[in-house]
Amino acid sequence: MSERASFRVIRDEIARRISGRLWLPGALIPNEELLAREFGAARATVNRALQELARAGLIERRRRAGTRVALHPVREARFVIPVVRQEIEAKGAAYQYRLLSRIEKAAPELVRARLGLAEETPCLHVRCLHLADRTPYQFEERWINLEAVPKAREADFNATSPNEWLVENAPFTEAEFTFCAAAAGPEEAALLQLNEAAPVFVGERITWLGERPITLVRMMHPPSHRMVTRL
Amino acid sequence: MSERASFRVIRDEIARRISGRLWLPGALIPNEELLAREFGAARATVNRALQELARAGLIERRRRAGTRVALHPVREARFVIPVVRQEIEAKGAAYQYRLLSRIEKAAPELVRARLGLAEETPCLHVRCLHLADRTPYQFEERWINLEAVPKAREADFNATSPNEWLVENAPFTEAEFTFCAAAAGPEEAALLQLNEAAPVFVGERITWLGERPITLVRMMHPPSHRMVTRL
DNA sequence: TTAAAATATATGTCTATACAAATCATTTTT
DNA sequence: AAAAATGATTTGTATAGACATATATTTTAA
């Protein structure tokens, strides 16, 4: 029963040879034609296997120069940008949302500096809480640049969370994410039902449309929160 | 001037239709054969374009059921998988490293479960500390599956940190990352020079080569640590 | 009425072939 | 000696055709 050649089989076998140090970092590996002959597969199949390994950072390929085992596999992982309601519903929990405050005012110096805003730029400050199965899940504190998104003035943040409203109404092209751990302040502790100074997982996101800053949001989660991502 | 059909052109045009709301979330898009005819390309070419879009999360595909626009177009950000020494040196700080312990023993149930290992699988348990300008930067606790990486037995973790050693010697094809905030235990607090129960930023990483689990590592940072990434 | 079997259909993958594009090496020209 | 042209090699990508596999739908059997 001749097992059909598969790009997966080839891919994994080559990965095995690299991991088993049969093929050392920096070494040139056989070209596609040779590998195809060895595995009894078409070159296209070998090509697909190798392209996957290259995308994963295991090997480096160049036309005419051939394929070599990566010297320092520099790799990237991806994570999804969550919309908090979907995140909660995906876990099978009931989503609830509470608007805590919504005030139009100038942003404090620290926020202006991070967004690159002038002192007089009108901003909307929104605070709200997202719950999963009636337990606090995320405390969201947000500054919206009204010069970039004047429509936010008319948005009904009781009906839709600013998170969802902005996803629908304010596209962005650039974003910067920061994650860190911090101690809960008195307000955050109360809202997330934690003891004061309990560790919280903090995500911060700044988005731009072109050069224009849109919003800065700080999202605080209780320490049970896990951000998981796969390569 | 007949431009040659390219999977990139097709991929980008379909992405454009989705982002431009020509094809709405949840909608079924034409099947490969129809698209191939529309673009004047072979079905294999359309298939490649669609597979890339599926991998990027823009569409969802199922045999017989067809291809539909993802309901919640998931945007993704990338972050690099850091080698801690490079991370520290990139900040312009002096890197130091201290091996704390290195013991061959069976992993505890919890670790075995996460790695999918049998009870008797030999493992290497390594604990170490990374410092930036003589201040504790990261406490690393690691389990290495010796069945997958037997050479780790001979590795000199006084000279090279397990992080770097594994990057060079044990490639992986799959990885799962978890980030969370936690309260420092007594040992972690002492090592990171924090008060007990201070918030720590915890990163966890499991890697596989094909199906085979390689290592599980838990990396703990003081709360001053920031993980930053851009879209 | 329900369960099992058959069928149809869309995607998944492999093959053989062809040509394109990049780039390393060599030769020719300036 | 430097620059330009040429050639060779390797990967990149497209194609038509075939069969595999998953699964939604329909038909048949219990």
Segment (H or E) for A62: strand A59-62
Q: What is the mean pLDDT of residues A158-187?
A: 85
Q: What is the pLDDT of residues B186-222, one digit of tens each?
A: 999 999 999 988 999 999 999 887 778 999 999 999 9
Asked if A209 is an interface residue toward chain B (Cβ–Cβ < 8 A), one would say no
User: Using CA atoms, how far apart are residues A109 and A123, in angstroms rounded to an integer?
Assistant: 12
Q: What is the pLDDT of residues A185-221, one digit of tens each?
A: 999 999 999 998 899 999 999 988 767 898 999 999 9
Q: Which of A78, A196, A209, A220 to mutate to test the interface with B (most CBs of B within 10 A)?
A: A78
Three-state secondary structure call for residue B68: strand
β-strand partners of B60: B68
pLDDT in the model for residue B5: 66
Cβ contact, residue pair B226, A180, below 8 Å? yes
Q: Which of A137, A172, A229, A230 to mutate to test the interface with B (most CBs of B within 10 A)?
A: A229
pLDDT in the model for residue A130: 96
B230 to chain A: which residues are within 8 Å by CB?
A: 174-177
Asked if B183 is an interface residue toward chain A (Cβ–Cβ < 8 A), one would say yes
User: Using CA atoms, how far apart are residues B95 and B129, in angstroms rounded to an integer?
Assistant: 11
Residue B145 makes CB contacts below 8 A (sequence gap 6+) with: B115, B117, B121, B123, B212, B213, B214, B215
User: Using CA atoms, how far apart are residues A170 and B219, in angstroms rounded to an integer?
Assistant: 36
B18 CA: distance to closest CA in chain A (Å):
14
Nearest CA in chain B to A228: B178
| pLDDT over 60 at B3, yes or no | no
Q: What is the mean pLDDT of residues A166-177?
A: 74
Predicted TM-score (pTM) of the model is 0.71
| pLDDT over 50 at B2, yes or no | no
Cβ contact, residue pair A230, B74, below 8 Å? no
Q: Which two tokens stand for residue A86?
A: 């979907």
pLDDT in the model for residue A1: 33
pLDDT in the model for residue B176: 87
Question: Mind listing the domains of chain A with CATH numbers?
Answer: 7-69 (1.10.10.10), 84-221 (3.40.1410.10)
Q: Which two tokens stand for residue B167?
A: 């990057």
A143 CA: distance to closest CA in chain B (Å):
19
Cβ contact, residue pair A79, B76, below 8 Å? yes
Instruction: Give the residue with minimal CA–C1' separation from D22.
Output: B63
Cβ contact, residue pair A175, B209, below 8 Å? no
User: Using CA atoms, how far apart are residues A63 and B175, in angstroms rounded to an integer?
Assistant: 29
Instruction: Give the residue with minimal CA–C1' separation from D21.
Output: B63
Q: Tell how strand B174-183 and strand B199-209 pair up.
A: antiparallel
User: Using CA atoms, how far apart are residues B103 and B122, in angstroms rounded to an integer?
Assistant: 11
pLDDT in the model for residue A86: 81
Nucleotide nearest to A47 (CA to C1'): D11
A44 touches strand D (CB under 7 A): yes
Candidate from A145-159, A167-181, A203-217, B105-119 with smallest mean pLDDT: A167-181
Q: What is the mean pLDDT of residues B155-167?
A: 89
Q: What is the pLDDT of residues B25-76, one digit of tens each?
A: 899 999 999 999 999 999 999 999 999 999 888 899 999 999 999 876 666 6
Q: Which residues of B51-80 are buried (b: 16+ CB within 10 A; e: fewer)?
A: ebbeebebbeeeeeeebbbbebeebebebe
What's the order of all strands across the beta sheet hosting B212-221?
A227-230, B174-183, B199-209, B212-221, B135-145, B123-132, B95-105
d(CA B60, C1' C18) / Å: 32
pLDDT in the model for residue B75: 67
Residue B166: count other Cβ atoms within 10 Å of its Cβ: 23
Asked if B229 is an interface residue toward chain A (Cβ–Cβ < 8 A), one would say yes
* Alpha helical stretches, state H, B74-183: 84-90, 109-115, 162-169
pLDDT in the model for residue B74: 63
Nearest CA in chain B to A44: B44
Q: Which has more confidence, B133 or A4?
A: B133
Residue A114 makes CB contacts below 8 A (sequence gap 6+) with: A206, A216
pLDDT in the model for residue A172: 66
- For chains A and B, CB pairs below 8 A equal 142
